[in-house]
Structure 1
């Protein structure tokens, strides 16, 4: 395995927490960063630029995580073009919100959120996991949310999706631990990103003991630790990073 080029794949790596993770992994490891994005190529290129500015290198990989065929085709094509490469780290970060009260929620708003977070996790991880097991080493980190732990009103769909990934993280961790593959989840609270830009930060921070929103870089440092060799004995865990809002 030593002569193979090693990659870390970050889904939804074009913005926010995903971008911060790409940059942090580039700083902390020798991994080449595989930046997955869905539509926004300009944002993805910006992530790649920041990875390179941090002294790392990477590539863009376009597919929609909800489309199983596109995921398979994208990853297989990439592997064909990189015969000597191996994806050793999978960061399942892609996710969307479509908030609204459950009684008014459309089937589409339910399905889209479940599809992106939960089925996206399946499509990407299921396709790659065999190689991690054969290579007897791997790191899987799933980005979940405080919503998946305590439930958030107006986010029944998002809470359901993230809660399901938390359960999947715990089950999968037990299946693959013997092969030195760890599976953990990171559960952010309120983090300053595009996704939270509509929220009333001034009001909301009153309920956060730390009295502020978190930074994407703070989440990225935690993910980076879980990817490191120092975290080899941590698996099946959900690590909260939320300023004390919920534990």
Structure 2
């Protein structure tokens, strides 16, 4: 009888059951994200805004105008526009625009703008910028196995010598962060829907890097 009731409950709330299955497949390790409903934690460890976050992001008032300005500065930048950091800045701008259009008011828009701005300003000034992905308040880690693939590709010296392999890698990282934001908001099915594009970008990056390796061997 319990099995029948469970099956019936899933049939009556198919989305909820599908979301639960998606949550399991995402490999989430953050205990606060795994709790929903009345038992959900809402403290700073679970992603509540703290003074440091407010000091960093509260100044971003007009996100539409800020994104337009960042886009213009990125497009006007001289030099190679197909490298890792240029692509990553663009993907962060796209992520912020998508979240803004979805009326996402949880802070991810500001965080995405912050990442795009940090990279863009560093490129403009010619100052070093880290390729590491930051820990963001509104992002939880999903699919650790895909992050391992990301790090494996990034560590391959062929990627450094092969600019064409860099944009899909950079965008896969941002897309995985977006999926992590979906999961942070308990939108587990939405997070999972992003994964095919992440996987395709990683596959493309790895294949291009391998082609570059093969070309160097035969040169």
User: TM-score normalised to the size of structure 1?
Assistant: 0.25
Larger radius of gyration: 2
Greater helix fraction, Structure 1 or Structure 2: 2
Greater strand fraction, Structure 1 or Structure 2: 1
Which fold has the larger relative contact order, with Cα–Cα distance below 8 Å and residues 6 or more apart in sequence?
A: 2
